């Protein structure tokens, strides 16, 4: 008994070690290169699938946030260089920006679009004229108490008040040179780190919602595919497989985001490709399940046929044996009858005593 218990404990430990070894990166490998393992991954349950999805999305959010912070740091450096080389002298105090120029400054920058600096006007009509210019390009309007950003394709302008922007950083006053020095200093690292944390949380929530929605769509596609193939699979199991099918598209998305950090590269139909790759994976996984089911069904059919043949042979053997037994019984019966008849004849042939007297 003790040996059996020890063997069972060893088996349980081995199973647990196998489950531990099948960690996140092994699941990534299975999801991309081992489609036949989807049923095994799905069998681990919904909780493990969701956990895998959360980790995958978190990695995507971190990469996206790093790229955004990196690009923002480059933009800040360009802004510092632009201010140092092209901006007139200015100073900020009492929540008001003062520029040493009586006329509006308009500059068409290749990096930032159209930059308009006018700290002397408060006329709403004039401000609207700046923003509603017929030229379709990004416009940055710098006023004495706020900055207005109008981007192409976005109808509503983004307004940033200086007291909110600089107040969060604890800055109450500065001049041109102090601003350039601050933007180029190591103090910006703290701001970049805070920006990174905020972006990670925001990107994780957005990506998770979008990914779950995509997984649901892919799961529905997989469910209808299973119905067409006449496979009875629960939707939860197909949803789990859909989670793993989204792996390669998500990794491609990470690579795409990383490339955009260094090159302005745009794939027009990336979203369609994203869903198409995942759909191919889930459909392939279901077809593999169907093939395995047919294979097992064929094996079962062969076993049934062999069992039927064995039954027939056993039946024939039994019939043969019963016939031989009957023959033996008939022979025995015949022998007995013959013997009895002989005995009777012998009895009849004997003369009674005193018959010759």
Q: Is the same domain home to 122 and 215?
A: no
**Structural domain span for residue 101:** 95-172
Q: What is the pLDDT of residue 20?
A: 42
Residue 16 maps to a domain: no
Token pair for residue 172?
Answer: 């109450």
Q: What is the pLDDT of residue 356?
A: 45
Q: Is the same domain home to 162 and 60?
A: no
Q: Which of 195, 282, 280 is closest to 235 using CA atoms?
A: 282
Total Cβ atoms within 10 A of residue 238: 27
Give the E-state strand segments of the chain in sequence order. Answer: 90-93, 96-99, 105-109, 113-117, 139-142, 146-150, 158-161, 174-175
Residue 4 maps to a domain: no
Query: What's the average pLDDT block by block, 10 residues per block, for the chain (357 residues)?
Result: 50 46 84 88 91 95 93 85 83 83 76 78 79 70 83 72 77 82 83 90 94 94 90 90 93 89 78 90 89 67 62 70 67 60 55 45
User: Rounded to two decimals, what is the model's pTM?
Assistant: 0.70
Q: Which of 144, 172, 200 is the last residue of a domain?
A: 172
Q: Is the same domain home to 44 and 162?
A: no
Q: What is the pLDDT of residue 202?
A: 93
Residue 349 maps to a domain: no
Q: Is the same domain home to 125 and 35?
A: no
Q: Is the same domain home to 68 and 215?
A: yes
Q: Which of 105, 138, 172 is the last residue of a domain?
A: 172
Q: Is the same domain home to 204 and 70?
A: yes
Residue 64 maps to a domain: yes
Do residues 112 and 140 lie in contact, with contact meaning Cβ atoms separated by under 8 Å? yes
Q: Is the same domain home to 131 and 157?
A: yes
Considering its fold, how many domains does the chain have in total?
A: 2
Q: Is the same domain home to 205 and 276?
A: yes
């Amino acid at each position: 008994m003790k040996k059996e218990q020890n063997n069972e404990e060893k088996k349980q430990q081995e199973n647990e070690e196998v489950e531990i070894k099948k960690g996140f990166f092994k699941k990534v490998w299975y999801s991309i290169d081992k489609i036949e393992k989807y049923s095994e991954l799905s069998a681990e349950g919904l909780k493990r699938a969701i956990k895998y999805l959360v980790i995958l999305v978190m990695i995507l959010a971190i990469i996206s946030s790093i790229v955004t912070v990196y690009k923002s740091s480059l933009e800040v450096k360009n802004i510092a260089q632009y201010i140092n080389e092209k901006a007139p002298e200015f100073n900020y105090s009492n929540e008001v920006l003062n520029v040493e120029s009586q006329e509006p400054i308009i500059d068409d920058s290749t990096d930032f679009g159209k930059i308009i600096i006018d700290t002397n006007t408060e006329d709403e009509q004039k401000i609207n004229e700046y923003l509603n210019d017929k030229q379709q390009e990004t416009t940055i309007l710098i006023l004495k108490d706020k900055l207005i950003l109008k981007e192409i394709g976005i109808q509503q302008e983004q307004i940033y008040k200086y007291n909110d922007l600089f107040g969060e950083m604890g800055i109450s006053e500065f001049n041109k040179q102090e601003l350039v020095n601050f933007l180029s200093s190591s103090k910006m690292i703290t701001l970049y780190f805070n920006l990174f944390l905020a972006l990670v949380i925001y990107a994780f929530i957005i990506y998770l919602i979008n990914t779950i929605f995509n997984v649901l769509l892919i799961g529905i596609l997989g469910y209808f595919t299973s119905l067409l193939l006449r496979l009875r699979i629960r939707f939860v199991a197909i949803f789990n497989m859909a989670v793993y099918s989204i792996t390669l598209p998500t990794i491609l998305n990470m690579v795409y985001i990383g490339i955009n950090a260094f090159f302005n590269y745009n794939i027009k139909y990336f979203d369609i490709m994203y869903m198409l790759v995942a759909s191919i994976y889930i459909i392939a996984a279901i077809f593999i399940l169907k093939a395995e089911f047919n294979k097992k069904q064929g094996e079962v059919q062969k076993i049934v046929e062999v069992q039927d043949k064995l039954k027939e042979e056993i039946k024939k053997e039994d019939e043969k044996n019963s016939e031989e037994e009957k023959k033996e019984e008939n022979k025995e019966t015949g022998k007995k009858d013959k013997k009895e008849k002989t005995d009777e004849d012998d009895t009849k042939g004997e003369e009674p005593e005193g018959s010759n007297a």
